Amino acid sequence: MNTYTNLKTGTADGVRVITINRPDKLNALNRQTVSEIGQAVKEAAGDTEVYGMIITGEGPKAFAAGADIKEFSGLTKEQGMELSRAGQEVFQSIEDCPKPVIAAVNGFALGGGCELAMACHIRIASSNAFFGQPEVNLGIIPGYGGTQRLTRYIGKGKALELMITAERINAQTALQLGLVNYTVPPEMLMPKCMELLQLIRTKSPFAVGGVIRAVNACDGTPNGYKAEYAEFGKCFTAPDIHEGINAFLEKRAPSFR
């Protein structure tokens, strides 16, 4: 496993845990951290011993308090564009990852931190988590996909309200709005993530990847349906379908590779 400057990584029961490790800066996402998250996700996606990932933040206070504001000052237009391009590529690679990625949101998830959580497939929040897109306080707009993903998760009216007021919401409100899947006491955060991943582990990895790709193709146009039938067809090319159907007929639990 690679070592990283701003991340801690480890594997437990086939789950790669990627921890943003800048607690004194509330895990703010500077350029190097974003790049390392991209490398760590790619590394875990290619590791046959790993079937799922958890992204979280070090310390009791923050998942990630946003993009590193200090890096924004003095950028040229070209540098700004490059920062944006590289960051969006990393966040998209998380959303497109065929292995499930869960955000364990253990505190502030603001700006780019909220966007990072939203790029993950599932979000679980500890009860002390806060979410928000405060970019308008800085004279900028979200740049890691927040305007798109927040709108998809909670709808246009509420997404607009949060982004143009810069108001924070707590974990309970995030749950009510559908931004997070569960909220749990802080000590239950990692166990809940592991429990969900252990359940997913019993399913066909090929089909799990197919669901992720088809759901990601949902854009309100017929494209999503086309992606679904293409992914459905692909299932017939993989060994998992034979194991799944045989297990059903033999009245036993399937055992996927």
Q: Which residues bind ligand DAK (CB under 6 A)?
A: 25-26, 28, 65-70, 83-84, 87, 108, 110-112, 134-135, 138, 140, 142-144
Question: Minimum Å distance from CB 138 to ligand DAK?
Answer: 6
Q: Which residues pair with 122 in a beta bridge?
A: 102
> Could you confirm whether 135 is annotated as catalytic?
yes
Catalytic annotation, pick one of 49, 89, 95, 115: 115
For the chain, the three-class secondary structure string (H helix, E strand, C coil) is CCCCCCEEEEEECCEEEEEECCHHHCCCECHHHHHHHHHHHHHHHCCCCCCEEEEEECCCCEEECCECHHHHCCCCHHHHHHHHHHHHHHHHHHHCCCCCEEEEECCEEECHHHHHHHHCCEEEEECCCEEECHHHHHCCCCCCCHHHHHHHHHCHHHHHHHHHHCCCEEHHHHHHHCCCCEEECHHHHHHHHHHHHHHHHCCCHHHHHHHHHHHHCCCCCCHHHHHHHHHHHHHCCCCHHHHHHHHHHCCCCCCCC
- Which C-beta is closer to ligand DAK: that of 107 or that of 205? 107
- Burial of 150 (C-beta count, 10 Å sphere; 0-12/13-18/19+): buried
- Smaller CB distance to ligand DAK: residue 66 or 210? 66
Q: How far is the CB of 77 from ligand DAK (least distance, A)?
A: 11
Residue nearer to ligand DAK on the CB measure, 15 or 162: 162
Q: Which is nearer to ligand DAK, 66 or 244 (CB)?
A: 66
Report the C-alpha gap between 250 and 257 in whole angstroms: 18
| Least distance (Å) between residue 43 CB and ligand DAK | 23
CB 135 → ligand DAK: shortest distance, Å?
5
Whether 161 is a known active-site residue: answer no
Catalytic residue among 135, 228, 243, 250: 135
Between 138 and 218, name the residue whose CB sits nearer to ligand DAK: 138
CB of 33 to ligand DAK, least distance (A): 11
Which residues form the catalytic set?
115, 135
